[in-house]
Structure 1
Amino acid sequence: MPNEDLKKSEPYSPWYNRYSDFAGGYTLCYPLNMKVDASLSEVRTVFSNAETQIEVYADRLDQGSNTASAYLHDYDQFANNKQDHNIVTDSYFSSNGFDIHLLKWSRHKLATVPNDKNNYVSIELTKNSIDAYTILIKSTDPITNEMQLLASFQALPKKGVAGIYQHYSPTKHPLNDETTAFQKKFFSENSPLRWGMYEPNAPEDFDYLTHLEASLDYTFPIVIRYQSLDENFPAASLKNAYDHKKFVELSLQTFHYKQNNQSILYDILDGRYDDYFNNYAQDVKTFGHPILLRLDNEMNGLWCPYAGYFFSKDSDLFKAVWRHIYDIFTANQVTNVLWVWNPNDESMPRAKWNSFLNYYPGNDYVDIVGMTGYNPGTTVAGEKWREFADIYDPLYAKYSRLFDQPLIIGEFASSSVGGDKPAWMQKMFDQIGKYDRLKVAIWWNHCDFDADGNITHPYRMDDNLAEIETFRQGLAAYPEAPAETTDPTKTLPNTAQKAPAKVSTKTTTTPEKSVKNQKNR
């Protein structure tokens, strides 16, 4: 049929089979002793045995940042980290109708990763301004046959549509009684949508959020707390939230705020942070109350120091870090955590090796799946006004098809620059109620700043009365809103005396090559 996702594997020689991917538009030879996994055909095909894994990605380029030149030259910036990566070959050439970049390197074996594949070859190929491919090889031993593999690679006329043939379901793990009740109330099939708020002073100080809640006639049951590896478990902050009858989406991000993070995932997987995470897990256990632990969110964005962009384009390292931390919590018998996996809606870079699905750590490790997409407005060149439905209709459709876990919007907001923000909010409230699998949506009530401290993305929803009134009316239909509403002008916070924006560990350093500074917070 015209739209079939057809693959064909056939004998080629006594040592190789030939694999043809018609939707991907390529064919290559692979060793006979390798298994073929095309379950994520839309993203990649994987050929593997115990020692070696070959990943093939077929990309369609656009005319923006993801050009043929960028594909060949800009996606291997991790190689600048000579401390951790031993570059063997870095060459550009043309062959068989392709422009090619071949990079070969190794790193040390990681102490906590069994059968660590620490030898790499990445081959990027562009055929024209539209079609591009990446072949990523990982092996426990030095790789010697990359040129034979490359010689066998040929383009095919594309025919059919690639699909995704995986479906993800959560695995139950022990929870204490209070967390079980929290999970049932907030994340069961019949739980209604509830709202959360990131306010930069909370949960340490709730004065401003309390005033904001009075203006909105709504009590937010969930707040966000960001932290890096520069601090231990913020027990006092979470206790203050609990005393105010609020739960915390604790966004633990594995980097240091003002340090070089080029080795951070390697250091974690070498066990250098085991004492930190063991102590952290014990403190979480002592706290005892429910926590939404959102570990290393937006990992498919190059504004995050733990992204695969900085670590050999190897998403398996991110998954190994997630599992390692999870296993430490399990060993410490932590039973008050729900694990939230939360990619960004757009992968940056836009190459398929950076697809969000490559970062999924496994059904045993994810309780809740988060979505995040912002309307950045038009302040920054290359960004545009994005309506809520344009972001979340396709995102919700994809996530609800792939994942059985409850869905949340881990953070989101709209800029005030480039369109009508109250109208955006009204359309958002009109639309969001249709997402019946969505259980929590958290507004990010702050701003993005550039390196000089200038606001690039004004995301607050309380900059003027029109925004507050639109939000108040929208929230009236949801739990935690009182039966009787009040005049918002009676309790409207004094915007001239707003709580100052607190510098938090969410701020990250955006790479020089970044085409997006939306997350430079």
Structure 2
Amino acid sequence: MAACAGPDSETGGSSGIDAAADSVPPASLHALKWGVYLPASESFSESYGQVSDIAGAHPDYVLKFAALAEAVPAVQLREISGLGATPILSLEPWDPPAGSGGDDATAAAVAQPDFALSRIAAGGHDVGLIRWATGLRDLGFAVVLRFAHEMNGDWYPWAVGVNGNTSGDYVAAWRHVHKLFRSVGASNVQFLWSPNVPVANQTSDLAAAYPGADAVDILGLDGYNWGEGDGHTWVEPAALFDAGLGQLRALPGTQPILISETASAEGAAAGQSKAEWIARLMSHCSSQERVMGFIWFDANKERDWRISSSQAAQAAFAASLAKVV
């Protein structure tokens, strides 16, 4: 995984997509939905209950990752829906590197020409895609499909600029997948288009890979505060998200916007507080036009992204969430 990539890939309550800083007038705030990525476990029920207790509210969404070659995780998706949450399924067209659990986008993982976007658009993976489309259709409840996310980075084989992929190839591949799902009657599946926040040395024009309002139900945006180290610096929520949010709002269409992956490291220097970052995130999201919620990446991975990484962070999350849900 490249240094700027989101810490996402897991290979290994509501239906559908439908703290505040004192400087933001309460009248400008709107209610948010929220969700969580939970690391793979035998039971989502236990981990869902634990994070609900920590946050003081039940997540509306649970984010899960799966590779295209994998079987549809029907049991887990049913469990998530049964808890009252909507599953958000990040479907990744690649073969995760052996032994990595899908967590590290190594050079070998990125260099997978079999998953070039032009091949997807030409029908080279239709067997697998139709299997997913019919499997999700047959669940009979709302599922959000987040296909080939963070296409504007360089850490996945489906990314623009990798394996010969162009923005036009991405649009063609997305529209092909959307057409397949609709052709089998998977009307319970909504499509979430989810670029990464624009970062230096990566594709900054999100519009070029936008598949169109007729093929996208929800706009997403991924972004993390990595804190200091490994080439990163501390970044506050407004600085992290505002440029990308502006680009999303300028696209054709009026879809809701979801912060589809986010989290913060603990601060390592004076003035760097994860607790304060959490409060600012929720306040800022709640004040932003069309932003309807966020998904927190609750895992101890490249950083300790968890809500419970410290007592201060945990308390801030619960107090801030109570103001915006």
Taking structure 2 as the reference length, the TM-score comes to 0.81
Contact 2:112 2:163 in 1 (8 A): no
**Whole-angstrom distance in 2 between the partners of 1:433 and 1:307:** 30
Instruction: Check if 1:395 corresponds to 2:248.
Output: no
1:237 alignment partner, one of 51, 65, 76: 76
Contact 2:54 2:308 (8 Å CA) reproduced: no
Match in the other structure for 2:143: 291
For residues 40 and 67 of structure 2, the distance between their equivalents in structure 1, rounded to whole angstroms, comes to 16
Structure 2 unmatched runs, 5+: 1-13, 19-28, 98-108
SS of alignment partner, residue 423 of structure 1: helix
Which of 366, 371, 381 lines up with 2:221 in the alignment?
371
Report if the CA contact (8 A) 2:65-2:90 is conserved: yes
- CA distance in 1 between partners of 2:58 and 2:214 (Å): 33
Report whether the alignment pairs 1:208 with 2:54. Answer: no
Match of 1:301 in 2: 153
> Structure 1 residues 429, 282: closer, same or farther in 2, change over 3 A?
closer
Where does residue 44 of structure 1 map in the other structure? Answer: none
> In the TM superposition, what are the counterparts of 1:20-59 in structure 2 within 5 Å?
none
Q: CA deviation at 1:438?
A: 1.1
Deviation of 1:392 (Å):
2.3
How many Å separate the matches in 1 of 2:33 and 2:63? 14
Instruction: Kindly indicate whether residue 316 of structure 2 is the aligned counterpart of residue 470 of structure 1.
Output: yes
- Letter of the 2:136 partner, please give it: V
Q: Tell me the secondary structure at the aligned position of residue 195 of structure 1.
A: strand
Q: Match of 2:309, SS?
A: coil
Q: Provide the residue aligned with 1:349 in structure 2.
A: 201
Mark the CA change 1:339 to 1:251 in structure 2 (over 3 Å): closer, same or farther: same
Matches within 5 A, 1:123-138: none
Distance, in Å, in 2 between the alignment partners of 1:389 and 1:351 is: 20
SS across alignment from 2:178: helix
Aligned pair in 2 of structure 1 residues 365, 446: CA closer, same or farther (>3 Å)? same
1:351/1:368 Cα in 2 relative to 1: closer, same or farther (>3 Å)?
A: closer
Q: 3-state SS of the aligned residue for 2:176?
A: helix
- Partners in 2 of 1:433 and 1:349 — Cα distance? 30
Q: Distance in 2 between matches of 1:329 and 1:297?
A: 17
C-alpha contact (below 8 Å) 1:293/1:340 kept by paired residues: yes
- C-alpha contact 1:223 1:247 (8 A) present in aligned 2: yes
| Aligned amino acid, residue 471 of structure 1 | F
Partner of 2:294: 441
Equivalences for residues 21-170 of structure 1 within 5 A? none
Give deviations 1:36-89, integer Å, cap 9, x for gaps.
xxxxxxxxxxxxxxxxxxxxxxxxxxxxxxxxxxxxxxxxxxxxxxxxxxxxxx
1:80: which partner in 2? none
**Are 1:274 and 2:126 an aligned pair?**
yes
Q: How many residues align?
A: 286
Contact 1:376–1:457 (Cα < 8 Å) also in 2: yes
> In the TM superposition, what is the alpha-carbon distance from 1:417 to its structure 2 partner?
4.3
Q: Is the 8 A contact 2:121 2:172 kept in 1?
A: yes
The alpha carbon displacement at 1:348 in A equals 6.0
C-alpha distance after superposition, 1:419-462 (max 9, x if no partner): 221121122233222114111211111144xxxxxxx4221121
User: Does the aligned pair in 1 maintain the 2:31–2:286 contact within 8 Å?
Assistant: no
In the alignment, does 2:110 pair up with 1:264? no
Distance 2:289 2:121 in 1: 38
Please tell me the residue identity of whatever aligns with 1:446.
A
RMSD, matched Cα: 2.4
By percentage of residues, which structure has more strand?
Answer: 1
- Give the corresponding residue for 2:59: 220
Residue-by-residue CA offset, 1:219-273 (whole Å, 9 max, x unaligned): 1110101011230221111111111111111111111112662231244234232
- Counterpart for residue 459 of structure 1: 305
Task: Find the aligned partners of 1:430 and 1:335 in 2 and give their Cα distance.
Answer: 34
Give the TM-score of the pair, scaled to structure 1. Answer: 0.52
Residues 315 and 337 of structure 1: is their aligned pair in 2 closer, same or farther, counting only changes over 3 Å?
same
Alpha-carbon deviations, 1:267-287, whole Å to 9, x = none?
A: 423423211111211111110
Encode CA deviations 1:174-221: one digit per residue, 9 max, x unaligned. Answer: xxxxxxx945xx42xx98311111111368432133122113211111
**Structure 1 gap segments, 5+ residues each:** 1-180, 449-455, 480-521
Q: Is the alpha carbon distance of 1:221 and 1:476 closer, same or farther for their aligned partners in structure 2, counting shifts above 3 Å?
A: same
Q: Distance in 2 between matches of 1:203 and 1:433?
A: 34
Paired with 1:300 and 1:232, the residues of 2 have a C-alpha distance of 27
Identity of aligned residues (%): 26
Corresponding residue of 1:152: none
**Distance in 1, Cα, partners of 2:33 & 2:47:** 20
Q: Which structure would you say has the larger Rg?
A: 1
Q: Tell me the residue number matched to 2:283.
A: 430
Contact kept in structure 2, 1:203 and 1:241, CA below 8 Å: no
Instruction: Give the Cα separation in 1 of the matches to 2:166 and 2:139.
Output: 35
* Structure 1 runs, 4 residues or longer, greater than 6 Å off: none
